Amino acid sequence: MMKTLYFLGVDGGGTKTEFVCIDGRGAVAARQIEDTTYHLQVGLDGAVRALEAGVAGICAQLGIAPSELTYAFFGLPAFGEDSAIDPQLERHCGRLLGHDRYRCGNDMICGWAGSLACADGINLVAGTGSIGYGERQGRAARAGGWGEIFSDEGSAYWIAIQGLNAFTRMSDGRLPKGPLYRAFRDHFGLDADIDICARVMGKQGLQRGEIAGLAPIVSQAAAAGDEAAIRINDQAAGELAAMAEALRTELGFAADELVPLSWSGGVLTNNSPVRSRLEALLREKARYRFVEPQHSPAYGAALYAAHLADADPLHPVNGERP
């Protein structure tokens, strides 16, 4: 009897971490959600706790030991950006599995692998943070994703910060008051506008993911005709378009070559004005083929685990490969 293959994918994000395990035919065998593995927010210990809980939960659902997982891919936020933390995360992942059939990488790979099913092309991630990643003929490249303090342009966090900035300008007269101003006052229940400083930055202030959660306020204000909010959406699209163009050049796509491009993350999935503006900007620059995401980033992580193990669950031979 052929042994069942299990490929574990881990998609770490700024607000949650999703674990998906697929079998040799590509069917989802187990799924689990845990807290964020963004170590810059929760520390190494917090990230490891989420990984431990997720791996244990998946194996409990399958009724197997971690050592029986065929291959695993851990797509972790900020991985590859800290030469001190990265090796520690890798060692912990190996410890949790009890074998070396795994690889760690940045969570940007999950979005690409899911959206394009591991095919050549570019994927733009615009969720809590933002980053672009693509592959072409064995070559890989990334753009953006330098962190929320001075990058992550076009992300939900970035949009929220631009919205908060516009609110302050409306409050003190540097911008005319629009729907965005009232939306932030209502959201925070402000008696005085200056109280927003303590609500966002005070002792009981907002974490990164909570700030990103303010982005829909900007989207709603834009839909209500707020000029400042509309400009923020347009700027977000422009920043994401710049990432795509940088990747197209770095990956060596010819000027007249069709470039498959997909997306993942809440901004491009849920904010249609940003995605529409992005598509319009890119059509002016090159031949892009916009591909609706084929799978979720978490499924993509599992698919990439299979890819690393030289398996192809979406096109199996005789059901499963040995």
Q: How many angstroms separate the Cα of 164 from the Cα of each of 29, 83, 146, 156, 227?
A: 42, 34, 21, 12, 14
178 with 228, same domain? yes
112 with 94, same domain? yes
- Work out the pLDDT band at 14, boundaries 50, 70, 90: confident
Distance between CA atoms of residues 118 and 112, nearest Å: 7
Tell whether 148 is covered by a domain: no
Q: Domain of 175: which CATH number?
A: 3.30.420.40
Tell whether 231 is covered by a domain: yes
286 with 303, same domain? no
Nearest alpha carbon to residue 116 among 281, 251, 286: 251
107 with 224, same domain? no
Distance between CA atoms of residues 132 and 143, nearest Å: 5
Tell whether 137 is covered by a domain: no
Of residues 14 and 148, more confidence is placed in 148
Torsion angle of C-alpha atoms 114, 247, 213, 267, degrees rounded to 10 = -70
3-state class (DSSP) for residue 131: strand
201 with 267, same domain? yes
Distance between CA atoms of residues 227 and 177, nearest Å: 10
171 with 251, same domain? yes
3-state class (DSSP) for residue 143: strand
Tell whether 205 is covered by a domain: yes
In tens, the pLDDT along 66-116 reads 999 999 999 999 999 999 999 999 999 999 999 999 999 999 999 999 999
Q: Which residues contact 191 (CB under 8 A, 6 or more apart)?
A: none
269 with 284, same domain? yes
In angstroms, what is the C-alpha Rg of the chain?
21
In tens, the pLDDT along 216-267 reads 999 999 999 999 999 999 999 999 999 999 999 999 999 999 999 999 999 9
Distance between CA atoms of residues 194 and 303, nearest Å: 48
166 with 84, same domain? no
Domain span holding position 185: 156-290
In tens, the pLDDT along 306-321 reads 999 999 998 865 544 4
3-state class (DSSP) for residue 155: coil
Q: What percent of the chain has pLDDT over 90?
A: 94
Please state whether beta strands 130-136 and 121-126 pair in parallel, antiparallel, or not at all (unpaired): antiparallel
Element (H, E) at 62: helix 39-62
Tell whether 150 is covered by a domain: no
Distance between CA atoms of residues 131 and 120, nearest Å: 17
Number of folded domains that form the chain: 2
Tell whether 122 is covered by a domain: no
Tokens 């992580």 appear where? 301
282 with 304, same domain? no
Tokens 């890798």 appear where? 90
Amino acid at 155: S
3-state class (DSSP) for residue 136: strand
In tens, the pLDDT along 262-293 reads 999 999 999 999 999 999 999 999 999 999 99
Average pLDDT estimate for 46-69: 98
- Asked whether the beta carbons of 33 and 42 are under 8 A apart, the reply is no
Average pLDDT estimate for 174-200: 98
205 with 248, same domain? yes
Tell whether 134 is covered by a domain: no
DSSP 4: P
218 with 281, same domain? yes
Give alpha helix (H) positions in 213-309: 215-223, 227-250, 266-270, 272-283, 297-308
- Asked whether the beta carbons of 96 and 291 are under 8 A apart, the reply is no
183 with 284, same domain? yes
- Please report the pLDDT score of residue 317 as a whole number: 58
Tell whether 213 is covered by a domain: yes
